[in-house]
């Protein structure tokens, strides 16, 4: 059984690396204690600061293909509860759950005394660590806090330094993705002596517009405001930003990964890119605290299977596998292969290849195989026209003798597409649109050429350098 206990950012200990992010699921002590009972290893308290007034409504979401909440957007601000109530409850939770991590998210105005004061009071209350909210993209940023601070490296560094002057517990800086290069803010935090980072906060968004009222969602008395986007839709953006930070020496610090994590697989991906803990919000808001049970169970089983005893055994393992495009091997070739016995004959690969890729998947198994460029084939419209010109009738047992099977495979042979390997560029699109797992596989075709990257080609003078190297 894998050991999931974690010691994060030099001293935040917890039974597992699954934390609830600073958000509605961590609004009060009662909630957090129920979350710990459900199995969460830690919780980042809903951001504490001078109490605000919220609006109603506050959330909106993007549904996709019948699935609810692919992406969630909110315009809720930080805690609307008095600071002393939050602090009193922190003390209570820590007393009852001494082994779980309680991290206090903080946001106050940009004054040294204000930050010194809140840090001291929070640590006195018993918090195991502090998370500086430099990421909230709505409302608070209009008041010079949240992402307004996170977007300015000078302020980010200055406030982090003020906090580090007082803090006795680890200090995490939560980064905003609403910035051209997230490393600018990460480097500022590192220069100021932060112990760790959390990334990413929510992304500026307008989730949609009501086509009857013309009002964007979420609607507040006929108007809306841009909010913070999160949920499954943002995971790829979050993974990229975590990788950028963790691969940059001047930025890298213990990382608490955030963004679209809903199950153990998502979490494992963040760990593989260097995160030491992960934070979850949307999935818990959607299904409740109970989802952590499978996060723990699934990750443990996967680790046992792979032979990893602790998270440290695989943390960051994929970082070396992310590189710049210019270092990719240009002499590596794969082609699509269709497994005829799995094909169901939907022909989505055919139309995707013709309209969206390189016109090399054809419906010519019956009429006769033809390899070559687009001109030698009938285009998709010809196939559609042919089917619609055919006379079809309802088969009536009495009038129509049953037909024999249509070939060796489940789908009729004329509907099983064929890949012209001489034209296939190995783009993956067909395998991505295929609804059947394992039906289209990408197979290597040795080119007989030694690996060579664009960078190497430029260096050997084979091509003129077309791009100017950028650095920050």
Partner 1 sequence: MALPDRFEENADIARRFPDLHPALGPQQAVVESNRCLNCFDAPCTAACPTHIDVPGFIKKIASGNLRGSATRILEANVLAASCSRVCPVEVLCEGACVMHHYNRKPIEIGRLQRFAMESFYASGAAIPKRNVPERSEKIACIGAGPASLACAAELKQQGFQVTVFERRALPGGLNTYGVAEYKLRTADSLREIEMIRELGVEFRAAEVADEAALVKLEREFDLIFLGVGLGAMHKLDLPGGDHAGVVDALEFIASYKLGEPLPGVNSVVVIGAGNTAIDAAVAAKRLGAEEVKILYRRDARNISAFGFEFEHAKQEGVEFIWRTQPKAVSIGPDGKLHSLLCVHTELNEVGELMGTEDAEFTVRCDMVIPAIGQSPLIEFLAKLRGLAVERGRIVIERATGATSNARYFAGGDCVNGGREVVDAVADGKRAALGIVTSLASRTAVLRG
> Would you name the residues annotated as active-site residues?
136
**Under rule CB under 8 A, residue 413 binds partner 1:** no
Q: Which of 388, 401, 446, 470 binds partner 1 (CB under 8 A)?
A: 388
With respect to partner 1, which residue has the nearer C-beta, 95 or 388?
Answer: 388
CA dihedral 445, 446, 449, 453 (to 10 degrees): 60
**Under rule CB under 8 A, residue 393 binds partner 1:** yes
**What's the token pair of residue 455?**
């960078």
Give per-residue burial for 419-436: e unless 16+ CB within 10 Å, then b: bbeebbebbebbbebbee
Q: Which stretch binds partner 1 (CB under 8 A): 21-29, 90-98, 235-243, 393-401?
A: 393-401
| Cα 341–chain centre separation | 34
Q: Which of residues 347-386 bind partner 1 (CB under 8 A)?
A: 347-348, 350-351, 380, 383-384
With respect to partner 1, which residue has the nearer C-beta, 181 or 364?
Answer: 364
With residue 42 as reference, give the H or E element that holds it. strand 42-48
Q: Which of 247, 344, 413, 442 binds partner 1 (CB under 8 A)?
A: 344
**Under rule CB under 8 A, residue 391 binds partner 1:** yes
Q: How far is the CB of 347 from partner 1 (least distance, A)?
A: 4
Q: Residue 384 and residue 378: Cα distance in Å, rounded?
A: 11
Q: How far is the CB of 139 from partner 1 (least distance, A)?
A: 32
**What's the token pair of residue 446?**
């040795």
Q: Which residues are bridge partners to 125 per DSSP?
A: none
Q: Which residues are bridge partners to 227 per DSSP?
A: 205
With respect to partner 1, which residue has the nearer C-beta, 85 or 344?
Answer: 344
Q: Which of 253, 250, 257, 205 is nearest to 236 (CA)?
A: 257
**Under rule CB under 8 A, residue 464 binds partner 1:** no
Q: How far is the CB of 288 from partner 1 (least distance, A)?
A: 22
Q: Which of 390, 438, 461, 471 binds partner 1 (CB under 8 A)?
A: 390
The Cα diameter of the chain in Å comes to 92
**Under rule CB under 8 A, residue 398 binds partner 1:** yes
Are residues 253 and 195 in contact, defined by beta-carbon separation less than 8 angstroms?
Answer: yes
User: Cβ–Cβ contacts within 10 Å for residue 382, how many?
Assistant: 11
**Under rule CB under 8 A, residue 402 binds partner 1:** no
Q: Residue 219 and residue 341: Cα distance in Å, rounded?
A: 51
Size of site (CB under 8 A) for partner 1? 30
With respect to partner 1, which residue has the nearer C-beta, 69 or 411?
Answer: 411
Question: Rg for the chain (alpha carbons), in Å?
Answer: 27
**Under rule CB under 8 A, residue 345 binds partner 1:** yes
**Under rule CB under 8 A, residue 403 binds partner 1:** no
Q: Which residues bind partner 1 (CB under 8 A)?
A: 65-66, 343-348, 350-351, 380, 383-384, 387-388, 390-399, 410-411, 415, 435-436
């Amino acid at each position: 059984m894998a050991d999931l206990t974690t010691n994060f950012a030099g001293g935040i200990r917890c039974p597992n690396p699954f934390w609830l992010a600073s958000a509605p699921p961590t609004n009060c002590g009662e909630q957090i204690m129920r979350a710990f009972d459900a199995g969460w290893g830690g919780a980042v308290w809903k951001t504490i600061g001078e109490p605000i007034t919220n609006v109603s409504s506050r959330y909106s979401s993007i549904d996709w293909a019948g699935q609810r909440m692919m992406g969630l957007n909110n315009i809720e601000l930080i805690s609307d509860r008095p600071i002393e109530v939050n602090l009193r409850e922190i003390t209570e939770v820590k007393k009852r759950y001494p082994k779980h991590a309680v991290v206090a998210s903080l946001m106050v105005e940009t004054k040294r005394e204000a930050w010194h004061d809140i840090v001291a009071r929070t640590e006195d209350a018993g918090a195991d660590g502090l998370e500086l909210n430099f990421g909230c993209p709505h409302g608070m940023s209009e008041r010079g806090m949240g992402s307004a601070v996170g977007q300015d490296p000078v302020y980010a560094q200055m406030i982090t330094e003020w906090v580090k002057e007082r803090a006795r517990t680890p200090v995490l800086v939560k980064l905003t993705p609403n910035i051209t290069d997230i490393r600018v803010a990460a480097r500022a935090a590192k220069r100021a002596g932060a112990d760790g980072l959390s990334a990413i906060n929510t992304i500026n968004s307008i989730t949609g517009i009501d086509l009857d009222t013309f009002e964007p969602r979420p609607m507040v008395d006929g108007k809306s405001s841009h909010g913070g986007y999160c949920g499954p839709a943002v995971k790829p953006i979050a993974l990229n930003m975590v990788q950028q930070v963790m691969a940059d020496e001047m930025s890298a610090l213990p990382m608490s990964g955030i963004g679209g994590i809903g199950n153990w697989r998502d979490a494992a991906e963040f760990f593989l890119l260097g995160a030491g803990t992960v934070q979850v919000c949307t999935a818990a808001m959607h299904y409740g605290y109970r989802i952590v049970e499978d996060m723990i169970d699934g990750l443990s089983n996967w680790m046992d299977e792979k032979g990893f005893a602790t998270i440290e055994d695989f943390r960051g393992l994929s970082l070396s596998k992310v590189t710049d495009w210019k270092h990719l091997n240009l002499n590596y070739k794969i082609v699509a292969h269709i497994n005829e016995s799995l094909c169901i004959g939907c022909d989505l690969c055919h139309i995707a290849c013709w309209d969206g890729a390189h016109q090399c998947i054809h419906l010519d198994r019956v009429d006769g195989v033809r390899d070559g460029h687009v001109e030698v084939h009938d285009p998709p419209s010809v196939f559609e026209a042919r089917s619609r010109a055919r006379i079809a009738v309802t088969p009536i047992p009495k009038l129509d003798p049953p037909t024999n099977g249509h070939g060796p495979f489940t789908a009729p042979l004329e509907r099983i597409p064929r890949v012209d390997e001489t034209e296939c560029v190995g783009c993956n699109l067909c395998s991505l649109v295929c609804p059947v797992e394992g039906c289209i596989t990408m197979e290597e075709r040795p080119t007989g050429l030694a690996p060579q990257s664009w960078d190497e080609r430029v260096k050997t003078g084979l091509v003129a350098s077309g791009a100017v190297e950028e650095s920050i």
